[in-house]
Chain A
Amino acid sequence: EAEVAQSPRYKITEKSQAVAFWCDPISGHATLYWYRQILGQGPELLVQFQDESVVDDSQLPKDRFSAERLKGVDSTLKIQPAELGDSAMYLCASSLVAGGKLFFGSGTQLSVL
């Protein structure tokens, strides 16, 4: 069964450093999402792409976070500089169309020291 691939699985960094996460959605899925999940909370939408275009980034802290999906396939989420409060699980999801069932990757667990 096709899966959403994410890397790395774990990332430890010091505050003020830059970090980047990568996501490869299921082949053919036009819609891609980045979510952040803090321990004890539900996933929170950071950004939604339709092909290479950003559909919703209203919850993305744009002073330090950036996301791109240049060719409408894989995507990168970057944090620069990282802060202690950024420690969380970063989840990527994709769906065939907007409004379709979301398939999640295994996530990247970020720890900022």
Chain B
Amino acid sequence: DQQVKQNSPSLSVQEGRISILNCDYTNSMFDYFLWYKKYPAEGPTFLISISSIKDKNEDGRFTVFLNKSAKHLSLHIVPSQPGDSAVYFCAASGRRGADGLTFGKGTHLIIQP
């Protein structure tokens, strides 16, 4: 039973436009959510996080939105740049992050020139 779902295996976006990556979760005990970015042959790198007490967190070009009632979060990247091409993982944790992270399967974002 997958507790964190990323239903789009891949997404293609034109450079300069907005990229929107989506994530759904089923475990109502999750209270801390993160996005990681991964290049081939490298480990994931932290991008941005959000606590369940917030509905939005912004860091430069990256914004994460959380809709707790829908158990849905999204990552917005504006504007999209070629270096953003990577696999993006949504992750969630309970007990304010003290539990290990549960990851989704990832979305491969391709930024086209």
On A, residues with C-beta under 8 Å from B are 4, 33, 40-45, 48, 56, 91, 93, 98-107, 109
Please report the C-alpha to C-alpha distance between residue A101 and residue B49 in the assembled complex, in whole angstroms.
9
Q: Which residues of B contact A109 (CB under 8 A)?
A: 41
> Is there contact, CB below 8 Å, between A42 and B100?
no
> Is there contact, CB below 8 Å, between A42 and B4?
yes
Q: How many residues of B contact A (CB 8 A)?
A: 27
Please report the C-alpha to C-alpha distance between residue A25 and residue B100 in the assembled complex, in whole angstroms.
16
Cβ 8 A contact of A40, one of B44, B91, B93, B105: B105
Please report the C-alpha to C-alpha distance between residue A68 and residue B61 in the assembled complex, in whole angstroms.
40
Give me the 4 closest cross-chain CB pairs, A-B, nearest first. Answer: A42-B103, A99-B97, A104-B43, A45-B100
Q: Which residues of A contact B95 (CB under 8 A)?
A: 99
Contacts A98-B98, A99-B97 given; indicate if A42 touches B89 (C-beta within 8 A).
yes
Minimal Cβ-Cβ distance residue in A for B49? A101
> Is there contact, CB below 8 Å, between A43 and B42?
no
B102 is an interface residue with CB less than 8 A from chain A? yes
On B, residues with C-beta under 8 Å from A are 4, 6, 32, 34, 36, 41-46, 49, 89, 91, 93, 95-106
Please report the C-alpha to C-alpha distance between residue A86 and residue B9 in the assembled complex, in whole angstroms.
23
Please report the C-alpha to C-alpha distance between residue A99 and residue B99 in the assembled complex, in whole angstroms.
7
Contacts A101-B46, A104-B44, A106-B43 given; indicate if A42 touches B104 (C-beta within 8 A).
yes
Q: Which residues of B contact A42 (CB under 8 A)?
A: 4, 6, 89, 91, 103-106
With A91-B43, A105-B43 given, can you name 18 additional A-B contacts, CB distance below 8 Å?
Answer: A42-B103, A43-B101, A43-B103, A44-B103, A45-B100, A45-B101, A48-B100, A56-B100, A99-B95, A99-B97, A100-B97, A101-B34, A101-B46, A103-B46, A106-B41, A106-B42, A106-B43, A107-B43
Please report the C-alpha to C-alpha distance between residue A5 and residue B42 in the assembled complex, in whole angstroms.
12
Q: Which residues of A contact B34 (CB under 8 A)?
A: 101-102
Which among B44, B45, B99, B104 has the greatest number of chain A C-beta atoms within 10 A? B44
